[in-house]
Amino acid sequence: MPDWIKRFLPFISLILLCALIPLCEYFVLGQDPKFLTLGNLAAIARQTAVITIMAMGMTMVMVAGGIDLSVGSIVGLAGVVGALSMTHGSSVFTGILIFIAVGAACGLINGAAISSLRIPPFIVTLGAMGIYRGLGLYISDGNAIVGLPQGFGYFTEKSFFGFIPLPLLIVLAIALIVHFALGSTRLGRYCYAMGSNIEAARYAGILVSRYQITYYTILGALSGLAGAIESARTVTGQPNAGEGYELNVIAAVVIGGGSLSGGQGTVVGTIIGSLIMGVLANGGNLLQISPFIQKIVIGAVIVLAVTFDEFQRRTFESKEA
Amino acid sequence: MMDSLNTALEMRDISKSFSGNTVLDGVTLTAHAGEVLALVGENGAGKSTLMKILSGVHQPDSGEILIDGQKLNFSRPGDALSAGIAMIYQELSLAPHLTVAENIFLGREPLRVAPLGMINDNDLYQRSQSLLEDYGFRINAKTRLGRLSAADRQLVEITRAIVEAKRLIVMDEPTSSLTSHEVEELFRLIKDLKKRGLAIIYISHRLEELDDIADRMTILRDGKVVYSGKWGEISTDELIRHMAGRELKEIFPPRKASIGGVKLKVENLCRSPKFEKISFEVRAGEVVGLAGLAGAGRTELVEAIFGAQPLESGRVVLNGVEVDHFETNQSVKRGLSLLTEDRKRTGLCLNLPLAANITLANVRALVSGGVLRKRKETAAANELINKLGIRPPSPSKPVGRLSGGNQQKSLLGRWLFAKSDIFLLDEPTRGVDVAARSEIYRKINELAESGAAVLIVSSDLPELLGMADRILVMRRGHLVAELNAGQTTQEEILKYAAVEES
C-alpha cells in the first residue's frame, strides 16, 4: 500500500464523513442540511475541545510507548479541587491554575510510579484511575460543588468574531505547541526514540525515567485544563466529570494513526481522530440515529483503525527482514 | 568396526545461507545409536544453525536428513519430535507457571477420559516423580517450575527431552548452569541413555567435559566440517587448531597510534556470578581485546561499565574522574560509549530514520534556542554517512531497512557524533560482511590514532589478534590471562578461555 494512503487515510475519512452527512440529511431526511452551518461546526469544536486537549498530551505519552487510563479521573479530581478553591475565594485565574496544577501533580505521580516501580503503564494508570476518582468523590462527598463565580462560566461561552469559541482557540494554541515540541525539540525526538525502542534509547544515554515523568506530567496538566473547561461549561465542580473520557482520548490518538506500541503518532492525526469521533456523534444526532447505534459505530471505527495500524506494522517488519 | 554400528542419524551435504551469507556449506554428519557425538566449533561456526535445521526451525537450501536410513523432510519443529528427535536448548523453553510434572508431559499428558481431554493427574505426578528419581534428580514433581533454580530447571528440561526422545537427543551446552555434582548426575544419565541405544549429539565448549563422555567428534569451522573422527584420536592442541585455524587475512589494516595516558580504568568490578574482581585499564591510542567463550560474562561486564546493567561493587575511572553514578547518560556525557552486542534490541530505533539514529546520543548538539535544527541534523548525518560509507546514503530512510553491516556502521556513527573518546565495542563485526568489516576496522584504527581508547569484545579470535595490542581473556566471570597480541596465538587464547585449570 502506498505511504500516502496511510498518511492521509484519517483525513480522507473525515472529508468523506463531512460530505456524507449533509447528503444524507438532504436525501434521506429530506431536510435542509444543518451540518455545515457555522453554528453546528462551532458546536462540534466546543464538544470535542475537551477530548482534543487531552488527546494532545496522550499523543506524547503514546508515541513514547506509554498509555494513561487515569485522565478521565483527573478531569473529575481537578474539577472538584479547582471548584473548591474558587468557592473559597480564589479568583477565576488562580482557580484555573489550580485545575492545571492538580492535573500536573496527578500526571507526575503516574510518571514517577511507572518509571520507578517498573510496572506497565496500563496497570499503574488503571489503579490511578480508581484512586483519583475516589479521591474526588471523597473530597466532595459525592456532591457537585456549586456557587462558582459567574466569570468562570464565560470561559467557555466567550467567542471571538461572534463564532470562534474560546475553547477552540485554546485547542489550536496547545496543538501548535505540542506539534512543535514533538517535531522540533529534544523532548519530542526522545519521545519517538523511546517509543520505537526504549532500550536503545537508554543505551544511547537518554535518562528515560526523567522524560517519561515529563510526558505524563504534561498529559496530567492538559487533563487538568480540560477539567477546567468541562467545569466551566456547567459552572460547577462535578466529581463524576470526565468518566469514560480516557477511552475517547485514546481512541482519538489511535484513529489518527498513533500506535499502541509506541513510536508513531502525530498531532495533526490526533486532531483528525478526535474530529472524526465528534463528527460521527454530531452527524448521528442530526440524522436521528440512536445514540446506542452511534456507540457501536464508534467502537467499530476504533477496531478498524487499530487493525490498519497492525497491518502497516507487519508489512514494515516484513520489508525490514 | 564403524559399519557394524547402527546409524541413527545422517545429515548429508547440508547447505544454508541467510541473505547471501553462507552459514553452512556442505556439512555431513553421522550420529550412531549408543554413541555420543561431540559437535565442536567456535561461536558462529554454524553449530546452532545446523541443529536448528535438524529440529525443523530452519529449512536447508540443499542436502538431506536421514533417520535410520530413511529420508525425512522437516518443515516444522513438530516433525523432528515425531521422528524421535528431542532437543535441549541453552535457553530454557519451559513454562514457569506450570508444575514440574506438567512441564515434563506438556503436550502429551496422560488422559483419564480421552475424548474429554481430562488429565489423569495422579498418573502424571507419579510417572514424573519416578522418572526424576530414576535419573537421580532430587526435584519434587509438584513444584511450580518458576520456583526452581536455573540448574534444576535445566534438569527438568533434560527429563522432558528424554521422555520425548526415541532415537536421538541433542544437548546444546546442557551444563552451562549446572554444578559439578549435577554434571556428574547428567553424565551418568547420558551413559545410561547410550546403553538404551539412543544417539546423542552433545554441543559444548568445555573440552575437558567432553573427554568424559564423547565417543566421536565432528568439528565445524566457518560452516564446513574440518574434521570428523573418533574422540581421542587427535590431541587437544590439534583439536583447538582445527577449531580456530584460519589464516589471518589481509583485512586488518596497520595502525600507527602512540600509546598515551590511562583513559579507562576499572578496579575490582563484581557482579557475581556473572563477573568477579575484574581490574584492567585501557590507554589512549590503545586497542585492547576481550576474549572468552559465550557466557564468560564479557557482555555483562562491558554493559555494567557503561551503566546499562547493574554493578555490585568496584570502581570505574573515566579520563581520571571516578564514576559515582552508574547511569548511561552519565557515561555518554563523559565520553564513554558502548556499541552493543544486540543492535536490534539495544542499539537501533529500527523504524526511525537513519539520521535520527545517528544523532540520538547527542541531540543536544543540534538544538539551538530550544529548537532542533533539522538542516543541521541532515548535514551532520550526511557527513558521517560519507565518512563511514553507509549505503544507501539516504538519511531519511528507516534504519531497519539497511543491511547488518550498514546498521553497525550507523551505530558507530552515533558514537562518533557523540564525540566519545572511550569505546567499548561488543562484537563489532557480528553478522557483518567482509567489506564492511574492513571499513569498521579502519575506523577503529583511526579512532586509536586520534587518541581514543578502544576495548573490543569479540568471539572472533583472528579479529582480536589482528586488531588488539593486548588481549584479556575471561573465563566464567574471571579475568584469567592478559596476553600480548603480537606474541600469542589462537590456540593459547582458546586454552585459557576453554580449558579448566586442574
pLDDT for A231-269, tens place per residue? Answer: 998 899 999 999 999 999 999 999 988 888 888 899 999
Q: Which of B347, B401, B418 sits opposite A200 (nearest CB)?
A: B347
What superfamily would CATH give domain B7-244?
A: P-loop containing nucleotide triphosphate hydrolases (3.40.50.300)
Q: With beta carbons less than 8 A apart as the criterion, state whether B406 and B390 touch.
A: yes
More confident residue, B360 or B489: B360
CB contacts of B306 in chain A (<8 Å) are 203
Interchain proximity B363–A203, CB inside 8 Å: no
Q: Which residue of A has its CA nearest to B418?
A: A204
**Angle formed at CA B17 by CA B169 and CA B26, multiple of 5 degrees:** 65
pLDDT-derived band at B268, boundaries 50, 70, 90: very high
Q: Which of A186, A192, A202 sits opposite B367 (nearest CB)?
A: A186
Interchain proximity A202–B371, CB inside 8 Å: no
Interchain proximity B328–A199, CB inside 8 Å: no
The whole-number average pLDDT for the span B190-201 is 88
The whole-number average pLDDT for the span B290-312 is 91
Query: What confidence tens digit (pLDDT) does each residue in B395-425 have?
Result: 999 998 887 788 999 999 999 999 999 999 9
Q: Which of A197, A204, A206 sits opposite B414 (nearest CB)?
A: A204
Quick check: do B7-244 and B260-335+420-502 share a fold?
yes
The pLDDT of residue B92 is 62
The pLDDT of residue B1 is 38
The pLDDT of residue B249 is 47
Task: Please state the φ and ψ torsions of residue A212, each to the nearest 5 degrees.
Answer: -55, -50
The whole-number average pLDDT for the span B148-169 is 83
The whole-number average pLDDT for the span A98-127 is 96
What superfamily would CATH give domain B260-335+420-502?
A: P-loop containing nucleotide triphosphate hydrolases (3.40.50.300)
B106, pLDDT greater than 90:
no
How crowded is the C-beta side of B128, counted as CA atoms within 13 Å? 28
ipTM of the complex: 0.86
A317, pLDDT greater than 70:
no
Residue A219: in which H helix or E strand, if any? helix A208-234
As a whole number, the mean pLDDT across chain A is 90
Query: What confidence tens digit (pLDDT) does each residue in A138-192 have?
Result: 999 999 999 999 889 887 777 777 778 888 999 999 999 999 999 999 999 999 9
Minimum mean pLDDT among A129-133, A158-162, A273-277, B423-427: which range?
A158-162
Interchain proximity B328–A188, CB inside 8 Å: no
- Domains, chain A, ordered by start: 3-316 (1.10.3470)
For residue B196, the one-letter residue type is R
**Strands, DSSP E only, in B177-223?**
199-203, 216-221
Interchain proximity A204–B360, CB inside 8 Å: yes
A27, pLDDT greater than 60:
yes
pLDDT-derived band at A291, boundaries 50, 70, 90: confident
The pLDDT of residue A137 is 97
b/e per residue, B103-138, with b = 16+ CB within 10 A?
Answer: bbbeeebeeeeeeeeeeeeeebbebbbebbeebebe
Distance of residue A180 Cα from the nearest chain B Cα, in angstroms: 9
Interchain proximity B360–A193, CB inside 8 Å: yes
Interchain proximity B345–A199, CB inside 8 Å: yes
A308, pLDDT greater than 90:
no
CA B421/CA B415 separation, integer angstroms: 9
Query: What confidence tens digit (pLDDT) does each residue in A33-60 have?
Result: 888 888 888 888 888 999 999 999 999 9
Task: Please state the φ and ψ torsions of residue B80, each to the nearest 5 degrees.
Answer: -65, -40
Interchain proximity B352–A196, CB inside 8 Å: yes
Distance of residue B347 Cα from the nearest chain A Cα, in angstroms: 5
Q: How long is chain A?
A: 321
Query: What confidence tens digit (pLDDT) does each residue in B452-495 have?
Result: 999 999 988 888 998 999 999 999 899 999 999 989 988 899 88
Mutate: best of A176, A191, A196, A203, partner B, most B CBs <10 A: A203
Q: With beta carbons less than 8 A apart as the criterion, state whether B243 and B218 touch.
A: no
Cis amide leading into B428 (omega within 30): no
CB contacts of B372 in chain A (<8 Å) are 184-186, 188-189
A309, pLDDT greater than 80:
no
State which of A5-14, B18-27, B174-183, B469-478 shows the largest mean pLDDT. B469-478
CB contacts of B361 in chain A (<8 Å) are 204-205
B183, pLDDT greater than 60:
yes
The whole-number average pLDDT for the span A310-321 is 57
Q: Which residues of B touch A (CB under 8 A)?
A: 306, 308, 327-329, 331-333, 338, 340, 345-352, 356, 360-361, 363-364, 367, 370-372, 374, 398, 400-401, 414, 418
* Number of A–B residue contacts, CB under 8 Å: 82
B248, pLDDT greater than 50:
no
Domain ranges (residues) in chain B: 7-244, 260-335+420-502, 349-418
Residue B422: in which H helix or E strand, if any? strand B422-426
The pLDDT of residue B247 is 44
Interchain proximity B346–A205, CB inside 8 Å: no
The pLDDT of residue A313 is 64
The whole-number average pLDDT for the span A124-137 is 97
Distance of residue A189 Cα from the nearest chain B Cα, in angstroms: 8
The pLDDT of residue A321 is 37
pLDDT-derived band at B176, boundaries 50, 70, 90: low
More confident residue, A319 or B464: B464
